[in-house]
Structure 1
Amino acid sequence: MRRTVLGAALLLPAIARARPDATLLHADDFDHGLANWHVECERPGRIETRGGALDIDVPAGVTLWFRHALAGPLAIDYSVLPVAKGGPNDRVSDVNCFWMARDPRAQTGNVLDRPRNGAFEDYDDLQTYYAGIGGNGNTTSRFRRYVGERGNRPLLPQHDLRTPDTLLQPNRPIHVRLIANGRHIALLRDDVPLFSLEDPAPYRSGHFGLRTTQSHLQVRALRIWKLDAA
């Protein structure tokens, strides 16, 4: 494992409260196929690695779970390009993710022990943090703390964003940083806080998953860091 220094945005007091040094736990530059990923796809699509990117081109819902279980405090970094080049799924929508996801109905709590079909509602019963940037045809950006109940996706008013600066732009990459540092849960977009939560009962371990539906995304440079405790 390698120690390094993360950017100043990680140190925002209300977001992370982390010291600047961190240990690299996992990295994927998408040059060795999909060995690190478990794919749950609602309908057949094209999911492949090429040119240092994970290329996701799908007509319906898909979740790609990172196979390694994670424990906080941690930060997850990656970039996403919403592709708009005239393809059938190039609608610029749904840069989504789960993190610290657990399945209370699985004996071990591991989300990989009970596969799902890729439809969004099939994930309602997880205990997880979830965020969607440019959802609903690029009209909303939302953050939720799932509580493990079918049909229940809690949404606080401050986590339901609709202004243009919180949405996606065609063919423009964004950098996503997810934080799970004790009670401090956050998503930073291009080093700017988009969502934050002070969670009195935080989810401290689980899986990370990339999520989208009817879209064409290219994901690059995944890094997962172990943070010093706040």
Structure 2
Amino acid sequence: MKQLLILLCFSQVALAQQVKFTSPLDTSLWKPEIAPKENSRVYTSKGKLIMDTKGGVTVWLNKELRGNFTIEYRRTVLVAGGVNDRLSDLNMFWMAQEPGFRRHGVLEEYDSLQLYYIGMGGNTNSTTRFRKYEGTGERRLIGEYTDSAHLLQANHTYTIRIVVKDGTTSFYADGVRYFEYADPHPLRKGYFGFRSTWSRQIISDFKIYQ
């Protein structure tokens, strides 16, 4: 597949700004939802997005994505003595239906949405799970790993890739396919969001390919 770097309706200038995560954070392009906890914040530094949070956090891309596409980016869970450092929860939502950007980062607030969800190294780095939220409160489990090969390494920069193509969605970390799901009732449009809780993480080099 010929991969052309695009951001759907955004211009190339806007795309370059997004990839670099300009300072301060462009809140027209990115919509942070963060639990009201002490010592929690979302900010940018040196072209990277930092989520440094005691509670839950979601940072949405404010653009509905449609059709076939690939999302790719780099992400590190830091464990270096920071107040919120914890090896857990390299998570993300995609194809979320009408998120509204009015929540406060608490995971249960998203139960009313239809979406796909990866929780990589969740539950204090004991599980990696792929779920489909049905919009009814059901978080349907599609697949799960508990072995160390599919859990997180501290301070390792992962290349994350999500592929949506013709009703099938796949998740890769460092080129290894963890999950692939041919959904009989696929979500064909929706929003992408970085998701985590109680951790410090760095995100960079965000791209979307058509």
* TM-score (normalised: structure 2): 0.89
Determine the structure 2 residue equivalent to 1:212. Answer: 196
- Does residue 172 (structure 1) correspond to residue 156 (structure 2)? The answer is yes
Identity %: 36
Q: In 2, are the aligned partners of 1:43 and 1:59 still within 8 Å (CA)?
A: no
Determine the structure 2 residue equivalent to 1:133. Answer: 120
State the one-letter code of the partner of 1:125: S
CA distance in 1, matches of 2:165, 2:114: 17
- Does residue 24 (structure 1) correspond to residue 6 (structure 2)? The answer is yes
- Does residue 59 (structure 1) correspond to residue 41 (structure 2)? The answer is no
Determine the structure 2 residue equivalent to 1:71. Answer: 66
Q: CA deviation at 1:23?
A: 4.3
CA distance in 2, matches of 1:43, 1:179: 33
State the one-letter code of the partner of 2:136: E
State the one-letter code of the partner of 1:63: T
CA distance in 1, matches of 2:162, 2:24: 24
Q: In 2, are the aligned partners of 1:179 and 1:185 still within 8 Å (CA)?
A: yes
Name structure 1 gaps, 5 residues minimum. 1-18, 103-109
Q: What is the Cα-based RMSD across aligned positions, in Å?
A: 1.3
Name structure 2 gaps, 5 residues minimum. 8-14
CA distance in 1, matches of 2:4, 2:131: 26
CA distance in 2, matches of 1:51, 1:115: 28
DSSP 3-state at the match of 1:154: strand
Spell out, residue by residue over 1:37-66, the C-alpha distance to the aligned partner (whole angstroms, 9 max, x if none): 111111241211001210110001011111
Aligned residue pair count: 197
- Does residue 149 (structure 1) correspond to residue 136 (structure 2)? The answer is yes
State the one-letter code of the partner of 2:77: P
State the one-letter code of the partner of 1:222: F
Spell out, residue by residue over 1:103-145, the C-alpha distance to the aligned partner (whole angstroms, 9 max, x if none): xxxxxxx212x61121101111111110011000011000011
DSSP 3-state at the match of 1:121: helix
CA distance in 1, matches of 2:194, 2:5: 22
- Does residue 39 (structure 1) correspond to residue 39 (structure 2)? The answer is no
CA distance in 2, matches of 1:161, 1:38: 30
* TM-score (normalised: structure 1): 0.82
Q: In 2, are the aligned partners of 1:33 and 1:49 still within 8 Å (CA)?
A: yes
Determine the structure 2 residue equivalent to 1:188. Answer: 172
Compared CA separation, residues 51 and 23, structure 1 to 2 (3 A): closer
Spell out, residue by residue over 1:11-32, the C-alpha distance to the aligned partner (whole angstroms, 9 max, x if none): xxxxxxxx24344224422134
Determine the structure 1 residue equivalent to 2:88. Answer: 93
State the one-letter code of the partner of 1:180: V
CA distance in 2, matches of 1:42, 1:176: 25
DSSP 3-state at the match of 1:143: strand
